[in-house]
Amino acid sequence: MINFVNRRSEFSSETNRIINPRIHYIFLKDGGVITGRIVNFESNTFIFASGERIGVDSIKRIYFPIF
């Protein structure tokens, strides 16, 4: 499910952690945060430019950059 956030106040504890709004932020269910640029999606896994892979089951929320 993709949840589009209209106001920064909706998830202030997460949006306050966004330092660079030009990259993707993935907030994990365990409280971790992964940043970078998502380049692909396959087999329920997001793939980053760095080669790191994150399964959708561990993701709480994704913030996409606004250009």
Q: Over range 25-30, report the average pLDDT.
A: 89
Cα atoms in the 13 Å half-sphere on the side-chain side of 30: 6
Complete domains list, the chain, with CATH: 23-67 (2.30.30)
What is residue 9's three-state secondary structure? helix
| Gyration radius from the chain CA atoms | 12
Write down the mean pLDDT value for the chain.
80
CA 30 to chain centroid, in Å, comes to 13
d(CA 5, CA 32): 20
pLDDT digits (tens, 9 = 90+) for 12-25: 677 777 777 778 88
